[in-house]
């Protein structure tokens, strides 16, 4: 639940920030009469995202045994890839988001309400599909550890709902100018935490493919703490949700977890030098969203 809440909160804040920039720019231009088009675009994006999540969970229910392990392993691997790309894209492009969105709005206003709604749909549906992929991977990883008695997908879905609700509330406050958010700091810290979560999902995906005999080798157990610190209850279950802890992982899972964290952690936290430009800072983006 904790991992799902964290990811949906971050993804939701990205989507809410984009919507607040869209609405604030319309207000700046005196074109709030077109705000309804943005609303319809956002609602359509949410509907598509929910549909994608529904399809993923429905397909997973159709598989069993080896087929289920292969489906979950591949889908979770895709989720990790998308999540990793998203983290680095936001680190690289975060300071340019506002200007790019305003440029798209200028072009869309000339094309009418449908074009403006399409802009809102395009930017929100990306976040929604990323969230759907992650929620699927996180809930399947939790279910595989806790079994049928662990509550199934409910904890992950509940965490996702809470995260998205908090993001929507924060987005509204940003639009109204009630709060200011240093986005560079926010995305740096949450990005670092999400890298740890992604490392756990990466290890889980490889473990599923390994159990399905798709990935041979390194199948010996690195250690076994199922009696002293099980990953299906107590502190172990919390660690499993947040960092991908496994009580009896294979050497492949351990190697995958550490390799992912070291490689991507190094590239994420290394000094980032962006070219000097007139683009507003992330802090200005958040504080000026209501301007």
Q: How confident is the model at residue 278 (pLDDT cuts 50, 70, 90)?
A: very low
Q: What pLDDT is recorded for position 192?
A: 85
289 neighbors 175 (Cβ within 8 angstroms): yes
pLDDT above 60 (res 150): no
Any idea which residue has 């980032």 for tokens?
272
Identify the CA nearest to 196 among candidates 29, 34, 2: 2
pLDDT above 60 (res 148): no
Map out the domains of the chain as residue ranges: 2-287
Phi, psi angle pair for 234, to nearest 5°:
60, -145
Q: What pLDDT is recorded for position 3?
A: 65
Identify the CA nearest to 18 among candidates 42, 46, 44: 42
Please state, in angstroms and rounded to a whole number, the distance separating the CA atoms of residues 68 and 135: 17
Q: What pLDDT is recorded for position 112?
A: 67
- Which two tokens mark 216? 């041979």
Q: What pLDDT is recorded for position 273?
A: 58
Instruction: Report yes or no on whether pTM surpasses 0.85.
Output: no
Identify the CA nearest to 145 among candidates 50, 62, 243: 243
Please state, in angstroms and rounded to a whole number, the distance separating the CA atoms of residues 5 and 152: 16
Four-point Cα dihedral 226, 227, 233, 237, nearest 10: -40
pLDDT above 80 (res 54): yes
Q: What pLDDT is recorded for position 178?
A: 61
Identify the CA nearest to 268 among candidates 92, 8, 83, 4: 92
pLDDT above 90 (res 44): yes
> Mean of the pLDDT values across residues 132-142?
78
Identify the CA nearest to 130 among candidates 42, 21, 7: 7
For residue range 67-92, what is the model confidence (pLDDT) as tens digits?
Answer: 888 888 898 898 899 888 888 877 77
Q: What pLDDT is recorded for position 110?
A: 72
Residue 62 CB contacts under 8 Å (≥ 6 apart), including other chains? none
For 151-155, 183-187, 192-196, which range has the lowest pLDDT when averaged over its residues? Answer: 151-155
For residue range 196-247, what is the model confidence (pLDDT) as tens digits?
Answer: 888 988 998 898 888 888 887 667 888 889 889 888 777 887 787 778 888 8
pLDDT above 60 (res 166): yes
Q: How confident is the model at residue 263 (pLDDT cuts 50, 70, 90)?
A: very high
């Amino acid at each position: 639940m904790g991992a799902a809440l964290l990811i949906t909160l971050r993804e939701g804040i990205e989507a809410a920030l984009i919507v607040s920039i869209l609405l604030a720019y319309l207000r700046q231009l005196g074109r709030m009469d077109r705000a309804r088009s943005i609303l319809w675009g956002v609602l359509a994006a949410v509907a598509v995202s929910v549909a994608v999540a529904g399809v993923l969970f429905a397909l997973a229910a159709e598989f069993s045994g080896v087929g289920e392990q292969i489906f979950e392993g591949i889908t979770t691997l895709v989720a990790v890839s998308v999540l990793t790309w998203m983290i680095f894209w936001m680190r690289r492009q975060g300071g340019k988001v506002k200007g790019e969105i305003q440029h798209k709005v200028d072009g869309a206003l000339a094309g009418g309400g449908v074009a403006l709604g399409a802009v809102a749909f395009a930017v929100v549906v990306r976040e929604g599909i990323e969230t759907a992929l992650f929620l699927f991977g996180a809930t399947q990883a939790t279910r595989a550890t806790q079994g049928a008695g662990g509550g199934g997908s409910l904890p992950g879905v509940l965490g996702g709902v809470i995260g998205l609700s908090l993001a929507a509330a924060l987005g509204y406050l940003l639009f109204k100018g009630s709060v200011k958010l240093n986005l560079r700091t926010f995305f740096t810290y949450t990005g670092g935490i999400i890298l740890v979560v992604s490392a756990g999902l990466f290890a889980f995906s490889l473990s599923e493919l390994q159990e399905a005999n798709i990935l041979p080798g390194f199948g010996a157990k690195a250690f076994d703490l199922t009696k002293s610190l099980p990953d299906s209850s107590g502190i172990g279950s919390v660690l499993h949700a947040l960092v991908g802890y496994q009580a009896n992982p294979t050497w492949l899972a351990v190697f995958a977890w550490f390799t992912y964290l070291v490689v991507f952690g190094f590239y994420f936290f290394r000094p980032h030098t962006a070219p000097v430009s007139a683009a507003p800072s992330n802090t200005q983006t958040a504080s000026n969203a209501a301007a």
